Amino acid sequence: MRIEKLLMETALIPSLSGYEQKMAQYMKKKFEENDLPVKIDVFGNCIAKVEGKNPSAPSVMVFGHMDQLGFMVRYIEPDGFIRLERVGGIPEKVLPALDVQIQNRKGEMIDGVIGVKSHHATPAEEKYIVEKYTSLFVDVGAANREQVEKMGITIGCPVVYTPKFKKLAGTVVSGTSLDNRIACAIVMELAYRFREHKPENTVYLVGTVQEEFNLRGAMVAARTTKPDVAICIDIALEGKTPDMKNMNDVAMGDGPVLSLYNFHGRGTLNGTIPHPDMVRIFEQAAQKKGINLQRLALIGSLTDMAYLQFEGTGVRGVDIGVPCRYTHTPVETCDIKDLESTTQLIFEAINNLNSLQL
């Protein structure tokens, strides 16, 4: 299945916020395979243009962020252990004994592990304590700071969970950075579909940067593309695991998710209420294609759409999610069926945009 291959390959590409170059080059190659004009802008966004058949039809930007959360090297101890600074929302309770990779100054990936006190030496009062990331360290096997520096590792080098991807039962897969390589895979899959069926509308297919840092890249891309409509693809928190019951009814395998409300609620006080026209168009597209459209209203998360909707004189925006478990951890999990149905839904919705009164 093409979209599964796209997801697997992108999940294995390290792409910390601010260091998305490898992902951008991968997406650029896939867009070029579909004969699309494509550029990587100054900020790092990868932007491809699908010329529509009707110049007067509303233009649309479909996008997902290429970056992932992780760390940067903050300090190198004299004895060679490496201290970290976080980039994005890191769940500290999963970090001890984790495999990581550090991208050195040459772009090479250096393996390391986050150290954890040996169990035999851990007193009872420490066994249930979650350590702050500032107290953790990475061990790359070096004996001193000089050896670390000879490996090309310096202050500010990006650090990510060691990339991985594996299949579970049926069409379920698990891996690193599925948030938001899920969206990148869908955006690239749309390029293949538009090659076979040219849209009425001009469509910009975009991989954005620095979402996990502070929702930055999508705004810059919108200033270039100036879309009438924007469709943000991201993950949607699945609510069917034992620890998420009563949170929501979103289920993996049950199709795409229409976000009716999201709000960060901490730190960044922003979020998105979708434009009513976009809600209508997606509901109609789902009904026409017989796609089950799940609905979600949630405090605790937000997407690039939160700021993009303010661009120009305002953009008709909507967040479309793919159900995902264990977000921001090294074992994010989703169902390939949902990527397929989400792609189909977005493709159909774009074909219905001519009903908009601009």
Q: How far apart are CA 257 and CA 233, in angstroms?
A: 10
* Mean pLDDT computed over 257-264: 95
Do residues 160 and 330 touch, judged by C-beta distance below 8 A?
no
For the cut 90, the answer to whether the pLDDT of residue 79 exceeds it is yes
Burial of 256 (0-12, 13-18, 19+ CB in 10 A): buried
pTM of the model: 0.96
| Kind plus residue range of the DSSP H or E element containing 258 | strand 257-263
What CATH fold (topology level) applies to the domain 2-68+176-355? Aminopeptidase (3.40.630)
Name the band, by pLDDT with cuts 50, 70 and 90, for residue 308. Answer: very high
Neighbouring CB atoms inside 10 A of 55's CB total: 10
Q: How far apart are CA 205 and CA 208, in angstroms?
A: 10
Q: Copy the structure tokens of residue 232.
A: 């943000």
3-state secondary structure of 322: strand
Do residues 288 and 282 touch, judged by C-beta distance below 8 A?
no
Please report, rounded to a whole number, the percentage of residues in the chain having pLDDT higher than 70.
Answer: 99
Q: Copy the structure tokens of residue 253.
A: 């395998």
* Beta-strand pair 203-208/46-50: antiparallel
DSSP per-residue codes, 130-143: PPPGGG-EEE-S-S
Residue 211 appears among annotated catalytic residues: yes
The separation between CA 226 and the C-alpha centre of its own chain, rounded to angstroms, equals 22
What CATH fold (topology level) applies to the domain 70-161? Elongation Factor Tu (Ef-tu); domain 3 (2.40.30)
Q: What is the pLDDT of residue 24?
A: 98
List the one residue out of 272, 268, 288, 270 whose CA is nearest residue 320.
272
* Mean pLDDT computed over 74-89: 97
- Angle among Cα 178, 182, 184 to the nearest 5 degrees reads 115
Q: How far apart are CA 196 and CA 188, in angstroms?
A: 13
Which residues on neighbouring strands pair with residue 138, listed in sequence order?
A: 82, 114
pLDDT one-digit tens code per residue, 189-236: 999 999 999 999 999 999 999 999 989 999 999 999 999 999 999 999
Note the helical H segments in the chain: 2-11, 21-33, 145-150, 178-196, 211-214, 217-225, 276-289, 305-308, 336-351
Which residues on neighbouring strands pair with residue 102, listed in sequence order?
A: 110, 159
List the one residue out of 205, 191, 224 whose CA is nearest residue 35.
191
pLDDT one-digit tens code per residue, 91-149: 999 999 999 999 999 999 999 999 999 999 999 988 899 999 999 999 999 999 999 99
Q: What is the pLDDT of residue 266?
A: 73
Q: What is the pLDDT of residue 202?
A: 97
The residue ranges of every structural domain in the chain are 2-68+176-355, 70-161
Q: How far apart are CA 178 and CA 183, in angstroms?
A: 8
Q: Which one of 211, 212, 238, 340 is the catalytic residue?
A: 211
